[in-house]
Amino acid sequence: MRIFDITSCDVNNGEGLRVTLWVAGCSHHCKGCQNPQTWDFQGGRRFDQSAHDYLFSELSKPYIQGITFSGGDPLCSPDDVAALAKEIKESMPGKDIWVYTGFTIEQIEADPKLRPILNYADVIVDGEYVEALRDVTLAFRGSRNQRVIRLKDGKIIKKE
């Protein structure tokens, strides 16, 4: 997996104080995307042991509520992201996991390659960014078609 950055103490990409992992690569190429520099699957740097150790060091801080996977689209690297989410959930069960993706929850549920993330994510913010539906009043999303979907044990408990 390749990443663009790890942001510590992020308050913009989920509830509470978070660590955000910016995953490289996106196939959606949404018009008006705020992060087009993250579309390149070969961009950024490799998520190596040093990046892994830094991520876990930041996540282990008691004031950090959880991790957000963003990008790019984390689900364009579904195996790596699911494996990392599993490791976080098992080693730090008190931390929540948010995933921003251009895929819809229906696409995730229907695709065996994407579905594993549902076992570890607490919140999925789904759907491509649609510039014509941009709404700056929405919490944690950029366009009205996107949804904040809360999960428990891989099942949808609330769609906002």
Give the residue, 155 or 49, on which the prediction is more confident. 49
Contact residues for 67 (Cβ-Cβ < 8 A; gap 6+): 18, 19, 20, 21, 55, 59, 88, 95, 96, 97, 98
pLDDT at 61: 98
Q: Judging by beta carbons within 10 Å of its beta carbon (0-12, 13-18, 19+), is residue 67 exposed, middle or buried? A: buried
Predicted TM-score (pTM) of this structure? 0.95
CATH number of the domain residue 37 falls in: 3.20.20.70
Statement: residue 75 has pLDDT above 80? yes
pLDDT in tens, 109-152: 999 999 999 999 999 999 999 999 999 999 999 999 999 999 98
pLDDT, average across residues 35-56:
97
pLDDT in tens, 24-45: 999 999 999 989 999 999 999 9
Statement: residue 160 has pLDDT above 90? no
HSE-CB at 46 with a 13 A cutoff on CA atoms is 3
pLDDT confidence of 156, banded at 50, 70, 90? confident
pLDDT at 157: 75
Tally of domains within the chain: 1
Nearest to 68 by CA among 157, 140, 130, 160: 140
For residue 81, the one-letter residue type is V
pLDDT in tens, 79-98: 999 999 999 999 999 999 99
Instruction: Give me 138's structure tokens.
Output: 């929405």
Domain that holds residue 67: 2-159
Statement: residue 158 has pLDDT above 80? no
